[in-house]
Chain A
């Protein structure tokens, strides 16, 4: 009897393990193809949910399940996607980016004039703008915000060219730049340049930055749990369709999806790719998918021995099996990327030379360098599982041409710290960037350098490859001031060609943004940079 009970018990346990795995449908044996996006994809790469309709009654509250915590409510105190989504709700900027065309459109500034030399901007602010506490927003607040940005390590680069901000009257101000900058207005549309209340910030430097003139005001913030916002009924162009928005943190992707399925949340940002079939199979849900602009790339620290040789760098570029990485590390939900700027950015070179996966060419390039097979060993830093997979694929390919790659796994914080550290004590890494602040910002930040007081070049912020090339800087400077659009586009094409020749990084791929929503959700704009816009989000009752 006792033995029988034990045997039965073991069988039950085994059966539960087998059935707990679910049906085989949910474990794709081959890479899943991206689903058909249910929203409207715009030419600029955004996806727009259906427009809010006047005849439909909408729910009072929309709950959004987020994957990363809102951890700072000062627009100039961070640059994470989660925080930026908040600033789109609570604050406004002088200008916005049109989700349909990616062009700069008016926001707080109803119009502006640019001087002939491109250095002076005269803005006229919309009249009747108020902060969500009812107090008026004036040109003084814009000046305060821009002046404050100069001291912020997150925003200072965006206003680096600003020489002065002059208040003419409450609704007029003049901004003077040190040099013409065709991308400057794009930078001013970034969440980090959200206009803050001078009075509130001076009265309470800690909490003052939370006050904005957006469609929503902050109701409650519990770090690690949720952040809620209530509609500002005094918004100048009419109140939002939803009274309350809650951003609720669910770190675990499976839980986030279950919460969507049970109806606890209305939007599930970034469900696990292995769970997408569950959304597709659920008649109450919709799956939105759009290629994002989060680019995985491999920077090569150009001052390290071996990597200072262009042929070695090119050999490594030919060893990068991007297709296999997309297949193995992203479950097929990514696109190979060969450009140095992101998809959708101005000046993307569609005819760029491609470093395809080709070990023969890699060997030829290595042969042109002073190094023989077996002489080179590089360390590649990786965090997260998918980057480890990509690193292993790369390691295997490099081994075949005689370059030894050692994988160094570390936490994201440690990787970020090493890459940002002035000591530049690394060789290779797998890293991502999502800059969408204009082509100049991307190229300058990723590969550019600045002349220091001693005449030496110092790499710019995100220049992980440590490229310090006066010719490249000069090409960027020339493109930045060029007013002829076609010519400027051509100049950026040439800059990409030049980068391709120098080969400071290996662009690898961009993935997809996946979002599960309840059917009928309207008004949201899903952005490829993951900084989604929920100002007009609404869900039918």
Chain B
């Protein structure tokens, strides 16, 4: 198991190098020279050249890439072209907010989706099943900026229960988390339902029932545990997505997260911030995937055996 984890961690290195190169290449072909963005219209040729030098924009794409990688190895993500702040500092300022939002959104998603999915599967083709699936469809098709605004109008403006924006205190994360969580819950509900349906048809559950095991134990102990693998997979994928930032929800709720940091940096052609933030996010996503794989092993001993081999 340890060797497997180590192997996965080592695989992170080529992934990060590849991601960095892709970001460099994309930013290189994007229209809008960052020098012209940052210097302002009054800049002279000499000032532009000096700025190019200072920003490390001289040289070919490959040269710039390797310069960046050497700095990255030393833990230096560079300095933002716009705010002149350390990119690592900028990222770390936003990361706790993103983690807070992502975690709570996932809690909302799980609390909604798992019971709903189980109810739908256990009562397949009944009214309960139909209502669960309609709710899931609604959550999936409702744009989260629209849901966010509706929640804000009701819970901030009309009832005054939660603030409309900002990241101050626990109350401020509730509405953004519900907004993001509802969208995530939709897919998780459908996954839970279909996974549970597969498991509920298995022979060993029929045997358990025949042996007189109570239905609750059959569903929650025998069936749910075996249905968890696809649910955990989707959970991992969704958590990774939210870690990359929920730009719309962050914008609507003035939530200073990583997603908005990246989008604003792209708008301003702030290459070090875009590259640095994406590399850090890639690292985080890879670690989440690794964690998911480890969780598989604990949920299903057969997988643990495979890892050990």
Interface residue ranges, A against B (CB under 8 Å): 1-2, 5-6, 9, 13, 20, 69, 71-72, 74, 77-79, 151, 153-154, 156-157, 206, 222-226, 248-252, 254-255, 258-259, 261-262, 264, 410-418, 420-422, 445, 460-462
Contact = CB atoms under 8 A, between A and B. Distances in A.
B41 A410 contact: no
Contact of B157 (A13, A69, A74, A258): A258
Contacts of B166: 225-226, 248, 264
B284 interface: no
B294 to A, nearest CB: 33
B164 A264 contact: yes
A2 B153 CA distance: 32
A461 to B, nearest CB: 4
Given A72-B83, A416-B36, A420-B41, A255 B130 contact: no
Contacts of B138: 13
A255 B150 contact: no
A78 B30 CA distance: 23
B75 interface: no
B117 interface: no
Interface string B21-46: 00000000011111011011111110
A255 B43 contact: no
Contacts of A156: 42-44, 47
Nearest to B48: A153
A255 B152 contact: yes
A226 B172 CA distance: 15
A223 B267 contact: no
Contact of A412 (B33, B256, B267): B267
A422 B36 CA distance: 9
B134 interface: yes
Nearest to A422: B45
Nearest to A441: B42
Nearest to B82: A71
Contacts of B163: 259, 262, 264
B93 A153 contact: no
Interface stretch (B102-110, B188-196, B217-225, B246-254): B246-254
Q: Which 6 A-B pairs have the closest CB atoms?
A: A417-B32, A153-B43, A420-B36, A414-B31, A461-B41, A461-B42
A248 B160 CA distance: 19
B174 interface: no
B251 A252 contact: yes
Of the candidates B45, B84, B163, B260, the one having the most CB atoms from chain A within 10 angstroms of its own CB is: B84
B94 interface: yes
B124 to A, nearest CB: 13
B167 interface: yes
A165 to B, nearest CB: 20
26 contacts: A69-B264, A72-B84, A153-B42, A153-B48, A222-B93, A223-B93, A224-B94, A224-B256, A225-B167, A249-B254, A251-B260, A255-B152, A255-B165, A258-B156, A258-B164, A258-B165, A261-B157, A262-B160, A262-B164, A264-B164, A417-B32, A417-B37, A420-B41, A445-B42, A461-B40, A462-B42
A417 B85 contact: no
Given A225-B166, A225-B256, A262-B156, A413 B37 contact: yes
A224 B41 contact: no
B149 interface: yes
B72 to A, nearest CB: 21
Given A224-B94, A264-B163, A421-B36, A153 B47 contact: yes
A429 B45 CA distance: 23
Contacts of B37: 413, 416-417, 420
B254 A410 contact: no
B84 A262 contact: no
Contacts of B165: 248, 250, 255, 258-259, 264
